[in-house]
Chain A
Amino acid sequence: MLNNFPLWPQQASTLAGHVDALYIFLLIVTGMMALLVFVCIIFFAARYRHRPGVRAEQIEGSNALEITWSAIPFLIFMVIFVWGALVYFKERTPPTDASEVYVVAKQWMWKVEHAEGQREINELHVPVGRDVKLIMTSQDVIHSFYIPAFRIKQDVLPGRYTVEWFRATKPGVYHLFCAEYCGTQHSGMVGSIVVQEQAQYEAWMNGGSTGPLSASGEKIFAELGCATCHRTDTPGRGPNLQGVFGQPVQLEDGRTVTADENYLRECILDPGAKRVKGFQPIMPTFQGLVSEEQVNALVAYIKSISANKPPGGAKATASVVAPRHEPGETRAQAGERVHAQPNGSQVQ
């Protein structure tokens, strides 16, 4: 392949090969279909060119032919559909133990913060061979985080988190593009993904860390006075956040939601939206008082105080937060005990 005139992006992630395989299959299949049609057209146009004295033959049609050339393409389409869906499932299912990186997009730059605390602007260092999950949000308009060499792309929205993941397979530097038009410097919102060998990556990490993200989150938690209501020692005016991440939460209106990143973020910025059952609606909103990076840090902190990340979806019988169980008590029994308290207030 000519270096100055490349026709194909590098394959630098585990997904890239799958995407390219489907692409090549499509090239072959559509190429053959196109060839078939074009050969027929050219052949017929030449062979049946108007000749004096020779008249066209009026043909109504042929149901058999219609059914054939409907059914066969449809089958081919279904193969492509299923194959495409399978690749898509891979692309949209981040592995559970991926390391996490928070991304905040803003006009017109990418702000990256590793869980360990390193911050980057328009660059993302990752180690080769490790699953990395990006948790992304925007400060303003819709952007899109696109890494052609990994074959991944995900729109980054204001007001919520979106997620994308990859595992890099080749050390190198790869393009990062914003792929959703976002204003004047949309074309300037480019950067680099720097994939390094493990040793190099660790060296990079150790130079200039400001401490893990969750530690800054803990500081912010204290500074903003969150601990005043969200106590862990006695029942407070707000739910105990210890161990809440990933758990089902029962809301005032009867719904049950999972306390994921989006839920935590929503509680900080719009506390009335999904009120927890049994608590007064007195939490003030922090919209405008915290930056997106600070929200990321708080979320990281709350995740860090979930001792183990249990599988979500377990049916909670009662209170919001898995209460601390007495010795010998199961989780469910602890739940029953707390639920029996008047006013729904927590008693540990």
Chain B
Amino acid sequence: MHDSSTTVVHERNGEAHAAHNPALLHHFAEPQQQRDAASLGMWVFLATEVMFFGGLFCAYLVYRQWYFGDFAAASKSINMGLGATNTAVLICSSLTVVLAVWAAQTARRSLLVGSLALTMLLGLTFLGIKGIEYRDKFVEHHVPGASFSFENEPIPGHPGQYANARHAQMFFSLYFVMTGLHALHMIIGLGIFLWLLIMAWKGRFTPEWHTPVEIGGLYWHFVDIVWIYLFPLLYLIDRHP
């Protein structure tokens, strides 16, 4: 196992070629090109993710417009406190991600490892809180399906009016699909960060090459931003002080 700071001379096509960082892949001319390619690739991928969630958001916005009162009633029944906590958790995790990238850029290995670990911890916290919320919904029979029940829930701001159960079920269907897909992306993110953590622990990242940390960080920030949209859309419909 060589120290990653030395460069390597080896043969390709039967000819020795100029020494370079072993992380440079052979189809690239130079490290900057490889970095630029990786970065552009991740941004483009995130654009596709925006379109993916965008389709869902469209469906949500259409039904919210049609069944506003019922959606408001349903939104009231999900725990805003837990949602807000989760928002704070994710924002903190984005901070730890930024720290991790800086640590990689400045060769601070222990800070890098610590920040990655903390990010994962915060991510797990998020999922844990989400799990509690899902369990609450299950217990309250708010999970769409045969045992769904949403009777006598008042519509905020309209005393004496009660939500239509079928329309409220629509809210919960979209709630579970949207937060479920988000959580899935979170789990994938945790997998990525676990790999980053192991690589960082082994000292593979240097100021010259820490691309996986940067683009992993981009992905994490994106997952965070999706939540920043989800939280007000789902939890804060028609809330009054």
Contact = CB atoms under 8 A, between A and B. Distances in A.
Tell whether A pairs with B: yes
B123 interface: no
B167 interface: yes
A167 to B, nearest CB: 35
A281 interface: yes
Contacts of A273: 67, 164, 167
B162 interface: yes
B160 A272 contact: no
Contacts of A270: 164, 166
A252 B155 CA distance: 11
B68 A272 contact: no
A272 B158 contact: no
B161 interface: yes
Given A253-B68, A253-B69, A281 B166 contact: no
Query: How would you classify the secondary structure of chain B's contact residues: helix, strand, loop or mixed?
Result: mixed
A252 B158 CA distance: 9
Contacts, number: 18
Given A253-B68, A253-B69, A281 B167 contact: no
A280 interface: yes
A275 interface: yes
Interface string B143-163: 000000000000000101110
B160 A280 contact: yes
Contacts of B70: 272
Contacts of A252: 69, 158, 161
A281 B162 contact: yes
Interface in B26-75: 67-70
Nearest to A287: B166
Nearest to B162: A281
18 contacts: A252-B69, A252-B158, A252-B161, A253-B68, A253-B69, A253-B158, A270-B164, A270-B166, A272-B70, A272-B164, A272-B167, A273-B67, A273-B164, A273-B167, A275-B161, A280-B160, A281-B161, A281-B162
A-B residue pairs, 9 tightest by C-beta: A272-B164, A281-B161, A253-B69, A281-B162, A252-B161, A273-B164, A252-B158, A253-B68, A280-B160
Interface of A: 252-253, 270, 272-273, 275, 280-281
Given A252-B158, A270-B164, A273-B67, 15 more contacts: A252-B69, A252-B161, A253-B68, A253-B69, A253-B158, A270-B166, A272-B70, A272-B164, A272-B167, A273-B164, A273-B167, A275-B161, A280-B160, A281-B161, A281-B162
